[in-house]
Amino acid sequence: MGKITNIGILTSGGDSPGMNAAIRAVVRAGIYHGFKVFGIRHGYNGMIYNQIKELKSHDVANTIQRGGTFLKTARSKEFMTPEGMEIAYNNLKLNKIDALVIIGGDGSFRGALEFSNKYDIPCIGIPGTIDNDIFGTDDTIGYDTAINTVIEAVDKIRDTASSHERLFFIEVMGRDAGFIALRAGIACGAEAILIPEVETPIETLKEHLENGFKRKKSSNIILVAEGEKAGGAFEIAKAVEKDFKDYSVRVTVLGHIQRGGSPSAYDRFLASRLGVAAVEALMEDQRSIMVGTQNQQVVYVPFSKSVKAHKPIDPKLLELIEILNV
């Protein structure tokens, strides 16, 4: 590759609050440093179908506060074929794009790594996912907004749970990772948190609830990550309800409300910081890396690590749940 002059930017996979703020930061940082920046609509599909347009500073005005992604997003099976990648690369050449910034999760970064290796084009990743499950960064764009959405919903459910002395199982997103359930559960005072990383036998949960009833708790909130091994909120509720017939059991699935909404102040800040960092990484001849944060500092993490390594749950947070539910 020669000197970079034109940068393409796309959002891929699931949307998350703050993606627009990241796009805005890449566009304006790119222009500030003398690049042209091209928006690619509908993720990798947009590369295949040439949905590519240059973005000016005014194109990203009044977007920092908007949820979702104005570039739209998609998951592209076609891109992961040799024929799809070839078409995508030819369209990048047609538009004279010589570097890419990809906002998304580990699946998006896997595609970027393979594409970069095959066609020798620099690719920089910005972690955008509400799950916060990408190795190498303390936080991902959208995570803070998502947990605040969960907390707001649980606080409202707690009111009716207390009024009716009910046991609520609330399912949150996190098919493969329990970061949303864990942090939101601690913040809203959940009586128990079930996550896929830690197996919680039903009998252990029942014992925990029984102890709570003995302490005359008027309500119970159990947060369940959707990927929890026991089968999700509905299945767990059925298993528990059989032994607590005098207690009214209810299930609420928060679903996709966790993805939407105006991004929090922290997500806007994080997205802005990482968007600028992505452009600066290209200026430093970086490639096939993700820009993230560790201990409040921007770091570069190779795609090979971010997509292969597993981000662990902090065991001290699990201990915190036990302490706070005495």
Active site residues: 131
Q: 129 — phi, psi (to 5°)?
A: -165, 140
Residue 316, classed as helix, strand or coil, is helix
Residue 238, classed as helix, strand or coil, is helix
Residue 277, classed as helix, strand or coil, is helix
By the 8 A CB rule, do 112 and 127 touch?
no
* Cα gap 174→193, rounded to integer Å: 12
Kindly calculate the radius of gyration of the chain based on its CA atoms and give it in whole angstroms: 22
* Cα gap 8→38, rounded to integer Å: 5
Identify how many contiguous H helices and E strands the chain contains and give both numbers: 11, 11
- Cα 230 to chain centroid distance, Å, stands at 23
Question: Residues 223-232, buried b or exposed e (16+ Cβ, 10 A)?
Answer: bbbbbbebeb
* Cα gap 246→209, rounded to integer Å: 13
Which residues is 222 bridged to in the sheet?
169, 192
